[in-house]
Structure 1
Amino acid sequence: MKKTMWMVLPLSAAIALAGCSTYNPYTNEQQTSSLAKGAGIGAAVGAVAGATKSGHHRTDKALIGAALGAAAGGGIGYYMDRQEAQLRQKMQGTGVSVSRVGDQIVLNMPGSITFASDSTQLTPQINNALSGVSQVLKEYGDTNINIIGYTDSTGAESYNQRLSQQRAQAVGNYLAQDGVAYNRLNIQGGGEQNPVASNATESGRAQNRRVEITLVPNQG
């Protein structure tokens, strides 16, 4: 009984993390941290895995699995939480938005601040933002970096595909030249695909002209 109660403690601590929150400087709201979410999910998965083991003391095995799962899930969440907080701080006032999707962080760089019309030359404004991005990326080396360029639907599809690839490449080149390891970069042109707004209006087309950097934790 004592052994079982002792093992309950790490599980209880992991579940208690579900009450943890972080401060979002963009919305001025409290939000549940990914550390808490990851720990909670990890605990649940670990508990199920432990409970399915055959043999005696299934309760003990479930508790051990929950504790180990919480540590693994919370570790990734915490790592990305810290990275997200630093990126939000660096990107304030740059025009680059920072959003979170699970354990992934997405930086949206609209065309209005990245490139002049029909150009692949980075603007001074986005150079300053990318400098801040590279500082964070060099600190967090266990993050894979996906860079995808997008265009609106105006013009030939083949031309837009090529332009989106060249713009994504320009962003990737800047980061590499600023010290981010090139083998971490996955650079693609998305062309007209995945619009975030209607191409029927100028405001919608402006939103679709963008470069997105998606940061994914390396779980290997």
Structure 2
Amino acid sequence: MQANATPLRHRFSLVALVSVTLVATGCSSMSERERGTAQGAGAGAVAGAVIGSITGGSAGRGAVIGGAVGAVAGNLWSKRMEEKRAALERASEGTGVQVARTDDNRLKLNVPSDVSFDTGRADIKPQMRPVLDEVSRNLDPNVRLTIVGHTDSTGSDAINDPLSRERAMAVRDYLSSLGVAASRVTVAGRGSHEPVANNDTDSGRAANRRVEIFLSEQG
């Protein structure tokens, strides 16, 4: 029993090492689709190896099967979301809007104050509309949106908390006018409670006055 356990551990360690290496190497040069495929393959390979070992099968064979399944799943997700990400980057070019993929596989748009809202207001600026137009365009039916409004620390929570929510609701209402069902959208206002910069400077306060839009796929 002990003699068989050692080679099995070695095979599993090798599978895990290869899987981690696959995910880690080349990530900076990969496209979102390629990165999603690699991450899916790595996670699937490890899971397949574990299942194969537990059930008495081959860890290596389980890793191959798991890696293939994981690669397909990662690729399918990334293909849809990468296309939307690329379209949003084009629509927001030169505006200061940041488009990124989060660690939990969502697309995040960070919309700064000079694009989104004037100080103390919840009226969408004209510069923001082309970005929101692209958010709504050809939106996959499985995609859900979360919109989060933020303010700087100027003023009290009694002012900032509802203002941040009103900004998120204004974005939701604009998207609804473009055909995005309100039932697909969750809104939240965080006031000044989640700063990304120091509120002691003008530039820091400007960075904290923002709206974040998250797009996520539902199964």
- TM category (shorter chain) comes to 0.7 to 0.9
Distance of 1:75 and 1:132 partners within structure 2: 21
> 1:18–1:196: structure 2 CA closer, same or farther, 3 Å change rule?
closer
Deviation of the 1:53 alpha carbon: 4.1
* 1:109–1:211 CA contact under 8 A, matched in 2: yes
| % identical aligned pairs | 35
Match of 2:55 in 1: 54
Distance of 1:67 and 1:52 partners within structure 2: 18
> 1:193–1:124: structure 2 CA closer, same or farther, 3 Å change rule?
same
SS at structure 2 position matched to 1:81: helix
Greater shift in the superposed pair: 159-168 or 53-62: 53-62
SS at structure 1 position matched to 2:189: strand
Deviation of the 1:170 alpha carbon: 0.1
Match of 1:88 in 2: 89
Match of 2:3 in 1: none
Match of 2:161 in 1: 161
* 1:18–1:32 CA contact under 8 A, matched in 2: no
> 1:179–1:43: structure 2 CA closer, same or farther, 3 Å change rule?
same
Match of 1:126 in 2: 128
Number of aligned residue pairs: 197
Match of 1:197 in 2: 197
> 1:41–1:86: structure 2 CA closer, same or farther, 3 Å change rule?
farther
Deviation of the 1:203 alpha carbon: 0.7
Work out whether 1:184 is the aligned partner of 2:184.
Answer: yes
Greater shift in the superposed pair: 111-120 or 171-180: 111-120
| Residues 95-114 of structure 1 mapped to structure 2, 5 A cutoff | 95-102=96-103, 103-114=105-116
Distance of 2:22 and 2:193 partners within structure 1: 42
Greater shift in the superposed pair: 209-218 or 45-54: 45-54
SS at structure 1 position matched to 2:190: strand
* 2:112–2:207 CA contact under 8 A, matched in 1: yes
Q: Show structure 1 runs of 5+ residues with no match.
A: 1-14, 22-28
Deviation of the 1:82 alpha carbon: 2.0
Greater shift in the superposed pair: 64-73 or 193-202: 64-73
Match of 2:4 in 1: none
Deviation of the 1:152 alpha carbon: 0.3
> 1:85–1:105: structure 2 CA closer, same or farther, 3 Å change rule?
same
Task: Provide the TM-score with structure 1 as the length reference.
Answer: 0.78
Greater per-residue strand proportion: 1
* 1:83–1:140 CA contact under 8 A, matched in 2: no
Deviation of the 1:58 alpha carbon: 5.1
Task: Provide the TM-score with structure 2 as the length reference.
Answer: 0.78
Work out whether 1:76 is the aligned partner of 2:77.
Answer: yes
Deviation of the 1:158 alpha carbon: 1.7
Distance of 2:174 and 2:165 partners within structure 1: 14
* 1:51–1:61 CA contact under 8 A, matched in 2: yes
Q: Show structure 2 runs of 5+ residues with no match.
A: 1-20
Deviation of the 1:52 alpha carbon: 3.3
